[in-house]
Amino acid sequence: MHLWAGERVTAKGMSFFEEGKETIAREKALDEAKRAALQKVMGSYINSMTVVDNFQLHEDRIISHSSGYVKNVTVIDEKKSSLGTLEITIQADVESADVKDDLQRFQDMLSWQRNPRISIVVQPGIVKKYLPAATKAANILTGKLQQAGFKVLKFSEQTRNKVGLLVGLTLEQSVKTSDYQGMSISLNEIGLTADMFRPGDQEILASSSAIRSIPGENSLTVLDKGARQCIDAIWKELKDKLLLQYEKELYNDRDIYLTLKNLKSQSKAIEIPEILKAGITGVKGCSLLTFDGKKGEYNLQFRGRPEHFINELEMSYFQNTGFQSKIETYTGNSIVLLMLN
């Protein structure tokens, strides 16, 4: 059950009218009054926030959905002027708690875009004796990324959906032995590869690698030294590739495979693409692939990351359109939602 937490606001809206078109003018003035009521409530929150670049775009996005926040509208005054204007004064309830939550969601989303979020993992299957050196290499790379402005998260099931890109490290060693003036000399070749991929998706998006030759017979010391030198060797290339790939992840179009469970009817399933295109910023296209009983499968063309899509799904103004759901699973570009209405 939704508990209302809001403010009673008085606001005005104005529109020009022509004889015979008063109804259209009245609707426009009423809409302007609703927007003005919403802006009054938004202003106090925005003034208290440290807003990031491009926040105005999302502020405008919320205002464009004023009907999702403004309820119980009462017209308390209505008058025409000789200049051909119609002015309406309203009192309305603005759901301020929802406004505040949605502003913060947009703020968080913009912060994600400014600060690439990376996790570093040691690839499974690595030779056990190489694991300590690979872990140290991951720690060194973490430090370099943090100094360069990246946000590095420890990868887990809890952080999976917050991570933009994964960097998987592989470490290898080969030993060549030769005789020199009666002495046995060991030369170690240490190879390190850093692969970039999306969480839940094993497609390698980019890769950087290096090989270093390290003399010595102490295997652990050689591995540590070689891994450090390899990280230093790939650092600049790896950083540039991460920034480029992260930008692509944010702004390029992608396919998202969406499954909706507990749909009431096929007609409801058919309505969903238009609801998503009208209410979610990055949805460029949506088609119903299959409908089976109460389950619909969709293909979305979405500009941005899947978490941005999910973030907007949870916006109050969008849920007020009647699309209420909760996430059942989210892996890579596949999202399963359970419909609640």
Any domain includes 105: yes
Q: How many domains does the chain have?
A: 3
Residue at which a domain ends, from 205, 233, 249: 249
Do 261 and 290 contact (CB within 8 A), yes or no?
A: no
Please indicate, yes or no, whether residues 331 and 272 belong to a single structural domain of this protein.
yes
Please indicate, yes or no, whether residues 309 and 285 belong to a single structural domain of this protein.
yes
Any domain includes 230: yes
Gap between the Cα atoms of 46 and 55, Å rounded: 10
Do 209 and 234 contact (CB within 8 A), yes or no?
A: yes
Residues of the domain holding 162: 117-249
Any domain includes 2: no
How many helices (H) and strands (E) the chain has is answered by 8, 13
Residue 41: the pLDDT is 82
Please indicate, yes or no, whether residues 258 and 325 belong to a single structural domain of this protein.
yes
Gap between the Cα atoms of 96 and 7, Å rounded: 6
CATH code, 37: 3.10.129.140
Residues near 44 by beta carbon (within 8 Å), at least 6 away in sequence: none
- φ and ψ at residue 111, rounded to 5 degrees: -65, -40
CATH code, 264: 3.30.70
Gap between the Cα atoms of 113 and 164, Å rounded: 10
Residue 46: the pLDDT is 63
Any domain includes 293: yes
Q: Which two tokens stand for residue 235?
A: 């650092």
Residue 320: the pLDDT is 73
User: Order of strands, edge to edge, in the sheet holding 206-215?
Assistant: 151-152, 117-122, 165-180, 183-197, 206-215
Please indicate, yes or no, whether residues 195 and 169 belong to a single structural domain of this protein.
yes
Please indicate, yes or no, whether residues 164 and 79 belong to a single structural domain of this protein.
no
- Indicate the residue type of 172: E
Cα angle value 52/54/60 (rounded, 5°): 115
Any domain includes 1: no
Residue at which a domain ends, from 114, 138, 173: 114
Please indicate, yes or no, whether residues 110 and 174 belong to a single structural domain of this protein.
no
Please indicate, yes or no, whether residues 159 and 196 belong to a single structural domain of this protein.
yes
Residue 145: the pLDDT is 92
Residue with tokens 């600049």: 236
CATH code, 176: 3.30.160.180
Sign of the CA dihedral with 209 first, then 210, 211, and 216 last: negative
Element (H, E) at 49: none
Give the chain's radius of gyration (CA, Å).
28
Residue with tokens 């010391």: 221
Gap between the Cα atoms of 58 and 91, Å rounded: 25
Alpha-carbon distance values, 158 to 105, 163, 169, 339 (Å): 19, 10, 21, 23
Q: Which residue positions in the chain have pLDDT lower than 70?
A: 1-5, 44-61, 64-65, 108-115, 161, 178-185
Any domain includes 76: yes
DSSP annotation string for 174-195: EEEEEEETTEEEEEEEEEEEEE
Residue at which a domain ends, from 114, 140, 159: 114
Please indicate, yes or no, whether residues 157 and 98 belong to a single structural domain of this protein.
no
Any domain includes 78: yes
Q: State the DSSP code for 53.
A: T
Residue 4: the pLDDT is 46
Please indicate, yes or no, whether residues 138 and 227 belong to a single structural domain of this protein.
yes
Gap between the Cα atoms of 331 and 74, Å rounded: 46
Gap between the Cα atoms of 335 and 300, Å rounded: 11
- Give the helix ranges, DSSP H, for the chain: 22-47, 55-63, 96-114, 131-147, 219-251, 266-279, 306-313, 316-319
Please indicate, yes or no, whether residues 243 and 151 belong to a single structural domain of this protein.
yes
Please indicate, yes or no, whether residues 178 and 302 belong to a single structural domain of this protein.
no
Please indicate, yes or no, whether residues 98 and 193 belong to a single structural domain of this protein.
no
Gap between the Cα atoms of 259 and 247, Å rounded: 27
